[in-house]
Amino acid sequence: MSRFSHSLLFFYGSVLLVFGDLDKTKTDGSKVLCQGFISFVITFKVMNMMNRFFQTVLFVFLMGIGSYAQNKQILLPADLEIPLKYGADRLGKRSDAAMQKFRDNRLGAFIHWGLYAIPGGEWNGKVYNGAAEWLKSWAKVPSDEWMKLMDQWNPQNFDAKAWAKMAKQMGVKYVKITTKHHEGFCLWPSKYTKYTVANTPYKKDILGELVKAYNDEGIDVHFYFSVMDWSHPDYRYDIKSKEDEEAFSRFLEFTDNQLKELAARYPTVKDFWFDGTWDASIKKNGWWTAHVEKMLKELVPGVTINSRLRADDHGKRHFDSNGHLMGDYESGYERRLPDPVKDLKVTRWDWEACMTVPENQWGYHKDWSLSYVKTPLEVLERIVHAVSMGGNMVVNFGPQSDGDFRPEEKQLAESIGRWMKKYGECIYGCDYSGWEKQAWGYYTLKGKDVYMVVFNPPYSKHLVVKTPAGTEVVKAVTVNGGKEVKVTETARNEYNVDMPAKDPGEPFVIKLETKEKTAGTDKYRDALT
């Protein structure tokens, strides 16, 4: 075997060892990567094989490290980071007032409304079980034919004030509205396309009506915006030719203009939530995603931007090639949530989850029986789950084509609202507690107060609480009613908190007052072995 072959074999062996350690152990990923890289470089220096080929190999190896770090959300040591022009523009959480308000709001609603509400998951007599807002794709409907649905867009029962009152009653603090979904139909009268509400029988600016109505109720408005646009002739899924490049350049200019238009027409917007950014064409234009974030933040001071807009120099999304979050909050949790025990890494950054009520429907679908429909209790638990890990939750609604909500959605909003009115202080302005999760439910934290949100009361009637070292529970009070409940210290940093004397018949909340434990108060002695 030649010297070259030995070297190449060692290189692959080093790569396998490094990445094998990361996958098979719980060792800190950064440390393993660093150790593997150092041994790799030293060996090649000894063998005097750092020629042009191995410089190339080394670069590929470093890129592999960056890719792995991004996929596993591992932060690389500073001296191993890959230089990036379009990576994260900030390390750590934003601390300004606008971001704090986004964080404190915690509960939001999503509105998916567009032309897809008219067929409601059915095309030419066939019902499609896929997401209704993707019906054009499922049924392979040409854009010209699909856009004829605009002739039927006349939501006579639409009442922006009623929508806002429903959101207020539910207890949401912000609403995300689909300004434009993948189909390309705009809920505002954009001057850059003919596919807008202005060219429908309804004619009026729906987005403008909603912004005003929600703002009047004290609810922040966020804009959903799909970059992918099935109706635009210059959109490309990939860039494979000079012609593609020129066409997509025109499309990016068109998109810039629409975003500027939205920012100028509705200056009270608090957030842009981007979607449809996963195609190769976008990932090959990371510069543009960085440009858009900068542009919108200049146009709307304090505005927040979700992570799924961004792609870095190498097409990595959400987290750049060095493992740093791009955008202001992570927005990859769609219809799923991080594990409350295993995925605590998410508490290091701001994040937001969004969820549907039927399992796979965002826009209006005529037949909810085709998929599982979550109960209000299940929705509520997911809200608390997200907040307990320092995240926000957005619950989706898909209005009918007539502008009204289906009865099930109204009932859900009412049910969530009744609970939030009684127990909302454990949601708004709350964060991750750092306390060990227990089987009875979840913790949230506000200042020095810790909230116990109980979904699974035990038969023993004693709620086990384990505090971090140095923290003492001094008092426990029910949130709805203000009744004090008994707290019994059972071991070092462990307590039993009694359940309320009367079963509330719903998930309930107990607020714990805590204080720092002084060294002299520890009465427990460890066994001498």
Residue 422 Cα distances to 7, 379, 397, 415, angstroms:
68, 17, 23, 11
Over residues 226-232, the mean pLDDT reads 98
Same domain for 266 and 202?
Answer: yes
What is residue 524's predicted lDDT score, i.e. its pLDDT? 75
Give the pLDDT band (50/70/90) at residue 484. very high
pLDDT score of 69 more than 60: no
pLDDT score of 430 more than 80: yes
What is residue 7's predicted lDDT score, i.e. its pLDDT? 46
What is residue 18's predicted lDDT score, i.e. its pLDDT? 42
Measured CA to CA, the distance from residue 338 to residue 234 in angstroms comes to 37
Same domain for 167 and 54?
Answer: no
Cβ atoms of residues 110 and 354 within 8 Å: yes
Cβ atoms of residues 113 and 396 within 8 Å: no
Same domain for 51 and 162?
Answer: no
- The string of pLDDT tens digits covering residues 91-106 is 999 999 999 999 999 9
Same domain for 414 and 493?
Answer: no
Total count of residues recorded for the chain:
529
pTM of the predicted model as reported, rounded to 2 decimal places: 0.85
Continuous segment of H or E residues that includes residue 295: helix 286-299
Q: Which of 50, 80, 110 is the last residue of a domain?
A: 80
What is residue 5's predicted lDDT score, i.e. its pLDDT? 45
What is residue 523's predicted lDDT score, i.e. its pLDDT? 76
- The string of pLDDT tens digits covering residues 377-414 is 999 999 999 999 999 999 999 999 999 999 999 999 99
- The string of pLDDT tens digits covering residues 296-352 is 999 999 999 999 999 999 999 999 999 999 999 999 999 899 999 999 999 999 999
Same domain for 411 and 313?
Answer: yes
Same domain for 276 and 333?
Answer: yes
pLDDT score of 74 more than 80: no
286 or 62: which carries more pLDDT confidence?
286
What is residue 360's predicted lDDT score, i.e. its pLDDT? 87
- Number of domains observed in the structure of the chain: 3
The answer as to whether 237 is a domain residue is yes
What is residue 528's predicted lDDT score, i.e. its pLDDT? 78
Furthest-apart CA pair in the chain: how many Å?
83
Same domain for 122 and 19?
Answer: no
What is residue 41's predicted lDDT score, i.e. its pLDDT? 44
The answer as to whether 462 is a domain residue is yes
- 37, 42, 44, 50: CA torsion to nearest 10: 90
Q: Mean pLDDT lowest for which of 44-48, 219-223, 250-254, 438-442?
A: 44-48
Same domain for 233 and 367?
Answer: yes
The answer as to whether 430 is a domain residue is no
Over residues 291-300, the mean pLDDT reads 98
The answer as to whether 360 is a domain residue is yes
Which domain, by its residues, includes 464?
441-521
What is residue 464's predicted lDDT score, i.e. its pLDDT? 98
What is residue 9's predicted lDDT score, i.e. its pLDDT? 42
Same domain for 222 and 194?
Answer: yes
Cβ atoms of residues 76 and 30 within 8 Å: yes
Give the pLDDT band (50/70/90) at residue 44. very low
Cβ atoms of residues 510 and 451 within 8 Å: yes
The answer as to whether 36 is a domain residue is yes
Sign of the Cα pseudo-torsion (8, 13, 19, 22, in order): negative
Residue 249 Cα distances to 227, 289, 296, angstroms:
13, 13, 19
Measured CA to CA, the distance from residue 397 to residue 363 in angstroms comes to 8
Q: Mean pLDDT lowest for which of 22-36, 46-60, 88-102, 463-477?
A: 22-36
Cβ atoms of residues 176 and 110 within 8 Å: yes
Q: Is 142 left (phi over 0), alpha (psi -120 to 50) or beta?
A: beta
Give the pLDDT band (50/70/90) at residue 32. very low
The answer as to whether 432 is a domain residue is no
What is residue 529's predicted lDDT score, i.e. its pLDDT? 76
Q: Does residue 104 sit in helix, strand or coil?
A: helix
pLDDT score of 16 more than 80: no
Same domain for 503 and 418?
Answer: no
Measured CA to CA, the distance from residue 422 to residue 379 in angstroms comes to 17
pLDDT score of 446 more than 60: yes
CATH number, domain containing residue 363: 3.20.20.80
- The string of pLDDT tens digits covering residues 349-378 is 999 999 999 998 999 999 999 999 999 999
Same domain for 134 and 103?
Answer: yes
Same domain for 75 and 115?
Answer: no
Q: Mean pLDDT lowest for which of 25-34, 115-124, 166-175, 194-203?
A: 25-34
The answer as to whether 433 is a domain residue is no
Find the radius of gyration of the CA atoms of the chain.
26
What is residue 142's predicted lDDT score, i.e. its pLDDT? 97
The answer as to whether 248 is a domain residue is yes
CATH number, domain containing residue 475: 2.60.40.1180
DSSP 83: P
What is residue 520's predicted lDDT score, i.e. its pLDDT? 62
Over residues 232-239, the mean pLDDT reads 98
Q: Which of 394, 424, 454 is the last residue of a domain?
A: 424
Q: Which of 424, 457, 484 is the last residue of a domain?
A: 424
Residue 201 Cα distances to 185, 205, 478, angstroms:
14, 12, 53
Measured CA to CA, the distance from residue 460 to residue 298 in angstroms comes to 57
Over residues 476-486, the mean pLDDT reads 96
Cβ atoms of residues 511 and 451 within 8 Å: yes
What is residue 22's predicted lDDT score, i.e. its pLDDT? 40
